Amino acid sequence: MSVFPAVKISDHVYWVGAIDWTIRDFHGYRTGQGSTYNAYLVLADTVTLIDTVKKPFCEEMLARVASVIDPARIDCIVSNHSEMDHSGGLPEVIAAVKPERVYASAMGKKTLDDHFGIGDLIHVVKSGDSIDLGSMTLEFLETRMLHWPDSMFTYCVEEKVLFSQDAFGMHLATAERFADEIEPSILEYEAATYYANILLPYSNLISKLAETLSQSPWKPEIIAPDHGPVWRKDLDTIIGHYTDWALQRPSRKAVIVYDTMWHSTERMARAIAEGTASRGVDVKIMPASAVHRSDVAYEILDAGALLAGSPTLNNNLFPSMADVLTYLKGLKPQNLIGAAFGSYGWSGESVKQIEEVLTAMKVSLVGESIACLYAPDQEMLDRCFCLGVTVGDELVKRCDA
């Protein structure tokens, strides 16, 4: 009996990854449901391991391999992605199994060499290359910047399994290994959150990738990502979500993110929200002190407007707002309109600073930003309501165009 069994995902392919039930932060993204680091064993004549796991989980991965074959029988390793959650365990695995070959993209070779000094062991493969495993064939497609410059897909022709590394994954630790065993609403939420927080900046590349895959001779029946469950049914659903998310079409949804010192900016946010909602727009108010930056990223994924409010603290944005806006700026959401608002006591830099960030994000500013001295009176709240109306009207116009 094995404490850590492998899970068969096709006739000759096994999941041999690790489940991380405890991780709650993945480079700034809150992973409230943990994650998995998926590795796969291809039992061809040439036994091949696709990716490894985060370093502390190496023992678990090798135990799962051992539940199927002696790990020393692994002949080849393919590193689809050299980020540490997939390659952290690679040096240890190489030392343990002494594979004949390790394959990676050219950038993968460089990254693995930069991290571990193992470049000499790596054989470079590129898009269109294939390797003959005797009874099976692996083909490769470079997917640069999804999610690092080294990333690539590997396709097992005979088993029709696409090893997609970060793409089509999610941070979700579960006992179930297949997506069809998990509640669809959970899958959609976790996949969307993952896309928003990891892949959003590369949406243009994902649109191109979706087109490449649709024209490819590859006809996968299983998608095996490096995080979360394996897709073996309704592959069009997750591919369709990626196609939609990558387009970032504006919808009638506005996200208002703010923080507040003495409730003035909060009252402004609520008045703006009433104005926006009065135009038939779905409004999501997100107090930065009560939500996580990755929750805001999730809400932005299908929004058409981003409104940001902050008091001025020591000539700057409130720290929680600087955090959220810096994070969102890095994710490069597209096709948003927006507005800036906030309260101040004397110097009042925050609203200007929000405008600068939104402009750098290519958010199209609508209406006039509002800076409120100390606390809003009725006239100020009316102005806020009117700004909300202006944003709502413009959003509806854009969505109907």
Q: Is 148 in the site for ligand FEO (CB under 6 A)?
A: yes
CB of 179 to ligand FEO, least distance (A): 17
Bridge partner residues of 313 (DSSP): 316
- Report the residue from 60, 142, 226, 295 that binds ligand FEO according to the rule CB under 6 A: 226
Minimum CB distance to ligand FEO smaller for 147 or for 270: 147
Of 12, 81, 86, 171, which residue is the catalytic one? Answer: 81
- Report the residue from 227, 279, 293, 398 that binds ligand FEO according to the rule CB under 6 A: 227
Cα separation, 264 vs 312, whole angstroms: 11
Cα separation, 266 vs 199, whole angstroms: 31
Strand extents, DSSP E, 166-252: 222-225
Active site residue 129: no
Active site residue 27: yes
CB of 152 to ligand FEO, least distance (A): 12
Which residues fall within 8 angstroms of residue 87, CB to CB, at 6 or more apart?
Answer: 51, 52, 79, 81, 111, 112, 115, 116
Active site residue 241: no
Active site residue 194: yes
Q: Is 171 in the site for ligand FEO (CB under 6 A)?
A: no
Q: Is 166 in the site for ligand FEO (CB under 6 A)?
A: yes
Q: Is 81 in the site for ligand FEO (CB under 6 A)?
A: yes
CB of 262 to ligand FEO, least distance (A): 41
Active site residue 227: yes
Q: What angle do CA 243, 18, 81 make, to 5 degrees?
A: 50
Cα separation, 291 vs 253, whole angstroms: 18
CA contacts within 13 A on the Cβ side of 148: 22
- Report the residue from 85, 295, 349, 394 that binds ligand FEO according to the rule CB under 6 A: 85
Active site residue 123: no
Bridge partner residues of 153 (DSSP): 141
β pairing state of 161-165 and 122-124: unpaired
Cα separation, 70 vs 223, whole angstroms: 26
* 322 and 354 Cβ atoms separated by less than 8 Å: no
Active site residue 147: yes
CB of 237 to ligand FEO, least distance (A): 21
Of 20, 75, 142, 166, which residue is the catalytic one? Answer: 166
Tell me the window of 79-87, 184-192, 288-296, 337-345 that interacts with ligand FEO (CB under 6 A).
Answer: 79-87
Of 27, 221, 263, 368, which residue is the catalytic one? Answer: 27
Cα separation, 245 vs 331, whole angstroms: 13
Q: Is 190 in the site for ligand FEO (CB under 6 A)?
A: no
Binding positions for ligand FEO, rule: CB under 6 A? 81, 83, 85-86, 147-148, 166, 226-227
As annotated, the active-site residues are: 27, 81, 83, 85, 147, 166, 194, 227
